[in-house]
Structure 1
Amino acid sequence: MKLSFCTDSLGHLPFEQMLDKLLELGVYGVEMTTGGWSGAPHLRTDELLASKAKRQQVLQALESRGMQIAALNVSGNPLDPGQRHKSDTDKALQLAGEFGVKKIVMMSGLPPASPNDTIPNWITYTVSWPPTLKNCLDYQWNEVAIPYWLGLVARAKECGVEKFALENFSSMLVWNPETLFRLRDAVGPTVGLNLDPSHLLWMGADPIAAARALGPAIHHVHGKDVRLERGLVAINGLLETKPVEDVANRAWNYVAVGCGQDLQWWKEFFSVVRMMGYNDWVSLEMEDLTMSVEAGVTSSIAALQQTISQ
């Protein structure tokens, strides 16, 4: 495995300064954000699609440092009719084709619960009550998500993209291995999971068991940790609606790698992921708001360098 970096965490640095910072830390891969919920601080997709010279400047900056694009990231909700994310996804595919990038990291999307709704609806409660929820979930999958993804897989082949890695994020139709396989069985093996252990942990799942179940459906891995906060989970459970900035009062928080699970846990996680056949990029996604960006990035990279299976 090789260590890469999801670039938004250093979005305050200009592109080449960001690359130099990563090089100092021993990171040679970048997962570049292109749109969706990201402001895409380092890549201007429209400008790059319009200019071969600007695309060559990006590639030259990477090649001169011995660095590579691990994937393009366009994480958002392409099934939300109120967002521009469907267009962003199509542009990310075009840009991947121009750069020769074979992997897109994104999310499955979440549509409204009926043709008359305007707000996406994450149905995680039993569909037995109220019974109308089953019809809503069937609509989301069969009438919106699967047709969209069949078309997106076909478009990816036209652009030379070989893999979609869908993050198991909350408020998405694909949020765990079971839902990933529902989509994968419908649209084919181009779709796999971006295995992010942090989300599975706060949902109460075991990422190591999930890796075993996924096998070749692991298309990408995020090195991202979470901490279930002592005492608070026992009182209110794992469902949390407070803003991520309210770290002192949340039941769980995203934290630097090693500040949630210890390094022995991370060694086992990566060992099992490698054992199941994945031997590609592991991207640090640093979203710890309990410390400075500099401290979070530095300590997370040190932890990942000690634990990923080389």
Structure 2
Amino acid sequence: MHLGLYTAPLHDRSLADALRVVADTGLDAVELNTGGFLPAAHIPVKEIDKDPAVGKDWLSIFDGTGVSLQGLNCNGNPLHPDQRTGVAHAADLRRSIRVAGALGQSRVVTMSGLPGSEPHTRQPSWVVNAWSSRALDVLEYQWELAVPFWQEIDQLAGDHGVKVAIELHPQNLVFNPPSFLELVERAGTSHIGVELDASHLFWQQMDPVHVVERLGAHVVHAAAKDVRINPEAAWCGVLDNSFRRLSPEEQRTQIGAEEWVNEWPQRSAWDFVALGRGHGADYWARFLTALHAVDPDIACHIEHEDTSLGAVEGVQQAAVVLLEAADLADIPRQG
């Protein structure tokens, strides 16, 4: 098993510096962003896509570091009804698959995407609870758009020897195990799997260990990110819209055409936290055990989004817990 880091929190430094941070924590792998919501800060994707020989030379940066490349990440919304975002994110995903093949990588992480509710809309529409017949009409329309897109992506992934790992993420058509299995059934895919990010399952009251055990070989990649449920959840539940819009004068992250990340609620129902702040090493040991049973060579990468900790500090704290969990589970490391 490979235990590593998705390097997005270290985008402010060079890849060489990021690899030193990872190695110093005892982790042995990285996952690099290649487009979508975030830029490709640590990998020259356009150059590699144009000339695969560039990729072979570029890979030498990993030599002697004790860290290997174990996956690319292109999280975005390739089905966004605003074509300025949807077309760009879909193109990033296709390029990421081609680049993965050129680099000998077998995993590209992404999201299923989310269309609008009907033709000519410009905003995605997430059906949270399909209690009305109209909501089912919306879902059927969205599936009509998603199926041919994912059939095309499945074919491209197969052509390049890649598995596309869909993160089960809210505000996507595929956000839980049943919706993933519906995609597989509707589209007849064979190169689409799941990136099991435990954090989004936690706050939706799913058990990541149970999900891994039931999905089995559909799980092809994993993320170690923790969640803490706060007392405020007793008041507002876990579906909380008390976010604050950030102004153009404030530091904010652009994720699409005229779209930015909002400020997290001050009195949040739940928070993303470093490993160990929501669930202890014993839980993560069970998580790693379940993953190892599915694929002994699987990669599980820390995602650091604990805003109370700095980038390096958060990675270090999470790594301590993840490595302790691996020891408790007696998981062999690939290195």
- TM-score bucket (shorter structure): over 0.9
Contact 1:225–1:255 (Cα < 8 Å) also in 2? yes
Tell me the equivalent position of 1:50.
50
Tell me the equivalent position of 1:14.
14
Match of 1:132 among 134, 146, 152: 134
Matching of residue 291 in structure 1 with residue 309 in structure 2: yes
Tell me the equivalent position of 2:5.
5
Tell me the equivalent position of 2:26.
26
Tell me the equivalent position of 1:236.
236
* AA at the equivalent of 1:198: S
Looking at structure 1, the residues matched to 202 and 75 of structure 2 have their Cα atoms a distance apart, in angstroms, of: 20
Looking at structure 2, the residues matched to 33 and 112 of structure 1 have their Cα atoms a distance apart, in angstroms, of: 26
- Counting only pairs closer than 5 Å after superposition, residues 223-302 of structure 1 correspond to structure 2 as 223-229=224-230, 231-243=231-243, 245-246=263-264, 248-277=266-295, 279-302=297-320
Looking at structure 1, the residues matched to 293 and 184 of structure 2 have their Cα atoms a distance apart, in angstroms, of: 22
TM-score normalised to structure 1 length: 0.93
Query: What's the CA shift string for 1:223-260, capped at 9, x where partnerless?
Result: 1101111x201111111224474464111110101111
Matching of residue 102 in structure 1 with residue 120 in structure 2: no
Query: What's the CA shift string for 1:159-192, capped at 9, x where partnerless?
Result: 222x111101110111111111111223323111
Tell me the equivalent position of 2:158.
157
Contact 1:247–1:289 (Cα < 8 Å) also in 2? no
Looking at structure 1, the residues matched to 235 and 296 of structure 2 have their Cα atoms a distance apart, in angstroms, of: 38
What secondary structure, in the 3-state scheme, does the structure 2 residue paired with 1:5 have?
A: strand
Q: Which piece of structure 1 moves more, 53-62 or 192-201?
A: 53-62
Q: Tell me the CA shift for residue 44 of structure 1.
A: 3.0
Tell me the equivalent position of 2:177.
177
Match of 2:125 among 116, 121, 124: 121
Looking at structure 2, the residues matched to 93 and 58 of structure 1 have their Cα atoms a distance apart, in angstroms, of: 17
Unaligned runs of 5+ in 1: none
The count of residues paired between Structure 1 and Structure 2 equals: 305
Tell me the equivalent position of 1:166.
166
* AA at the equivalent of 1:172: N
Q: Tell me the CA shift for residue 279 of structure 1.
A: 4.0
- The alpha-carbon distance between structure 1 residues 277 and 54, as it changes in their structure 2 partners (threshold 3 A), is closer
Looking at structure 2, the residues matched to 109 and 298 of structure 1 have their Cα atoms a distance apart, in angstroms, of: 32
Q: Tell me the CA shift for residue 81 of structure 1.
A: 3.5
Looking at structure 1, the residues matched to 208 and 101 of structure 2 have their Cα atoms a distance apart, in angstroms, of: 32
TM-score normalised to structure 2 length: 0.86
Looking at structure 2, the residues matched to 158 and 225 of structure 1 have their Cα atoms a distance apart, in angstroms, of: 35
Looking at structure 1, the residues matched to 281 and 265 of structure 2 have their Cα atoms a distance apart, in angstroms, of: 23
Looking at structure 1, the residues matched to 208 and 145 of structure 2 have their Cα atoms a distance apart, in angstroms, of: 28
Looking at structure 1, the residues matched to 103 and 276 of structure 2 have their Cα atoms a distance apart, in angstroms, of: 34
Tell me the equivalent position of 1:303.
321
Tell me the equivalent position of 2:193.
192
Tell me the percent identity. 30
* AA at the equivalent of 1:12: D
Q: Tell me the CA shift for residue 28 of structure 1.
A: 2.0
Query: What's the CA shift string for 1:56-87, capped at 9, x where partnerless?
Result: 34200013324322111100011114211011
What secondary structure, in the 3-state scheme, does the structure 2 residue paired with 1:135 have?
A: helix
Looking at structure 1, the residues matched to 297 and 59 of structure 2 have their Cα atoms a distance apart, in angstroms, of: 24
Looking at structure 1, the residues matched to 124 and 310 of structure 2 have their Cα atoms a distance apart, in angstroms, of: 33
Unaligned runs of 5+ in 2: 244-261
Query: What's the CA shift string for 1:256-303, capped at 9, x where partnerless?
Result: 011111112111222233234454110111111012222211000111
Looking at structure 1, the residues matched to 12 and 3 of structure 2 have their Cα atoms a distance apart, in angstroms, of: 21
* AA at the equivalent of 1:212: E
How large is the Cα RMSD of the aligned pairs? Answer: 1.7
* AA at the equivalent of 2:152: G
Looking at structure 1, the residues matched to 287 and 98 of structure 2 have their Cα atoms a distance apart, in angstroms, of: 34
Tell me the equivalent position of 1:85.
89
